[in-house]
Amino acid sequence: MFELRHENLHGHEVGYRLAGEGETILLIHGMAGSSRTWREVMPQLAERYRVLAPDLLGHGESAKPMGDYSLGAHASGLRDLLGRLDIERATIVGQSLGGGVAMQLAYQHPEVCERLVLVSSGGLGRDVSWMLRFLSLPGAEFVLPIIAPRLVRERGNQVSRWLRDHGVRAPHIAEMWLAYASLTEAENRQAFVKTLRAVVDASGQTVSALDRLYLTSVLPTLIIWGDEDPVIPVSHAHTAHELMPGSRLEIYEGVGHFPQVEAPEQFVDALFDFLGSTTPASPDLRQYQQLLATRG
């Protein structure tokens, strides 16, 4: 149903998964992730909507060119993918790094955004896990081959299969393992470091959307977070909610950084309720001009 497909954009292969009919939901994964992170929720979402889940450049089965891995570049790439697939507008759902990309897409290209859903999103404060800050340091590209060798990936995959076969479910650990395992490939490591350094340094997150969140007052917005997120603290969700007029906030107890795999049923129910009870935004340049004038 969600087999991986490919499109060539600007000379680079972009992997994506697409299924369902109706209004489009665009699912954007996080750092060192891929479209696979949505595997638990895509089938249910596709029963009512058309669901598009791409692999960002530098991730998954998409190309890993030596190029720009900024939020703006990712946002423009997604705008172009939507155009290639003849999709005019979508509800934009972004998790972690994908949340930062989603906000940038809504800011740069509001004409394609009907609603915004931020899941454990980056770009809403300085705090971030010490590991990501460490890996942003100069020389990290030389350390990664040592801490992420292929041998460890192979042994880890064996352990993962054993746990799965014996009914042990640890979705947060499994998702973190997928991200770690991807770094055992040289081209993945290069793309990861470039992506990470575009948004994080030793002191924390370096890209913030906080000063522009007032622009989302014209865009129905849902914020989803786990109260035990070890990567980006849940306090960022509360800050964003206060700065985004009319936004909805969902905090999941006992959930970490990946609500879509740790609490998939709760996640799908929240998304269905949000989509069913809100009206898609329509692009209106005058509204943005008026909002910008209020903050002049």
160 in catalytic set: no
182 closest CA partner among 205, 152, 159, 202: 152
Residue in this structure with the two tokens 């997604």, named with its chain if needed:
78
Query: Annotated catalytic residue: which of 74, 172, 241, 257?
Result: 257
Q: Which residues contact 136 (CB under 8 A, 6 or more apart)?
A: 196, 197, 200, 201, 202
109 in catalytic set: no
As a whole number of angstroms, the longest Cα–Cα distance in the chain is 60
d(CA 17, CA 108): 24
Question: How many angstroms separate the first and last alpha carbons of the chain?
Answer: 49
Query: Annotated catalytic residue: which of 96, 121, 136, 182?
Result: 96
Query: Annotated catalytic residue: which of 35, 70, 172, 229?
Result: 229
55 in catalytic set: no
- Looking at the chain, list the stretches that DSSP marks H as alpha helix, in order from N- to C-terminal side: 42-45, 71-84, 97-108, 130-135, 140-147, 150-165, 171-182, 186-197, 235-243, 259-262, 264-277, 285-294
Task: Provide the annotated active-site residues.
Answer: 96, 229, 257
